């Protein structure tokens, strides 16, 4: 973080000459002023973290598939294995459905890196997607896992059969 924040703000104005009004009305904290550090984070550090995370996810999914489907343990019952397989498929769908929502944000960042410009419509849509992410996650959990789905449907049926007279 730069020591002289005023000089860092002026430097950021040289790169983006038309900032929003908030740049001048509130305190602005410049975290990265050096283009080399910004290049390191954008092009080396962040992709490395993404690669490490994806490799760990892949490793665990491959191990789970191997032990659940290819070479299952013989010490557990068939019913337990069937429930584990069903649960694994549910967790995969529960993860993939909301993850597709977040892919939009990554695509928007990629467009920004390539074109140095993102239309306001894409930014607004990204904010709506972020706001809807919790709802999408909840719907995914309720639709994927049978026990949750049955519990919610049971609550709805109880409410319909017994109207509140209070």
CB atoms within 10 A of CB 94: 18
Give the residue extent of every domain in the chain. Answer: 93-166
Q: What is the pLDDT of residue 52?
A: 95
Q: How would residue 160 be classed by pLDDT, with cut points 50, 70 and 90?
A: confident
Q: What is the pLDDT of residue 30?
A: 67
Q: Read off the pLDDT of each residue in 127-139 and give the average, rounded to a whole number.
A: 84
Instruction: Tell me: pLDDT of 131 over 80.
Output: yes
Contact 118, 112 (CB under 8 A): yes
Tell me how far apart the alpha carbons of residues 3 and 1 are, in angstroms, rounded to a whole number.
7
What are the residues whose beta carbons fall under 8 Å from the beta carbon of 164, sequence distance 6 or more? none
User: 4-15 pLDDT, tens per residue?
Assistant: 777 777 777 777
Give the residue from 35, 12, 38 showing the smallest Cα distance to 23. 12
Q: What is the pLDDT of residue 104?
A: 80
Q: What is the pLDDT of residue 63?
A: 94
User: 67-126 pLDDT, tens per residue?
Assistant: 999 988 888 899 999 999 999 998 888 888 778 777 887 788 777 777 877 788 888 888
Q: How would residue 33 be classed by pLDDT, with cut points 50, 70 and 90?
A: low
């Amino acid at each position: 973080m730069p020591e002289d924040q005023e000089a860092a703000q002026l430097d950021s104005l040289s790169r983006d000459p038309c900032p929003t009004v908030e740049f001048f009305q509130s305190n602005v904290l410049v975290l990265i002023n050096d283009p080399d550090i910004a290049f390191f984070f954008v092009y080396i550090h962040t992709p490395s973290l993404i690669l490490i995370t994806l490799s760990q996810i892949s490793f665990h999914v491959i191990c789970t598939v191997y032990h659940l489907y290819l070479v299952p343990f013989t010490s557990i019952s068939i019913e337990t294995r069937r429930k584990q397989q069903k649960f694994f498929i549910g967790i995969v769908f529960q993860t993939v459905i909301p993850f597709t929502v977040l892919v939009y944000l990554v695509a928007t960042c990629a467009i920004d890196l390539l074109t140095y410009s993102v239309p306001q419509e894409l930014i607004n849509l990204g904010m709506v997607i972020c706001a809807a992410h919790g709802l999408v996650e909840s719907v995914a959990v309720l639709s994927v896992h049978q026990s949750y789905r049955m519990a919610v449907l049971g609550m709805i049926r109880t409410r319909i059969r017994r109207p509140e007279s209070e």
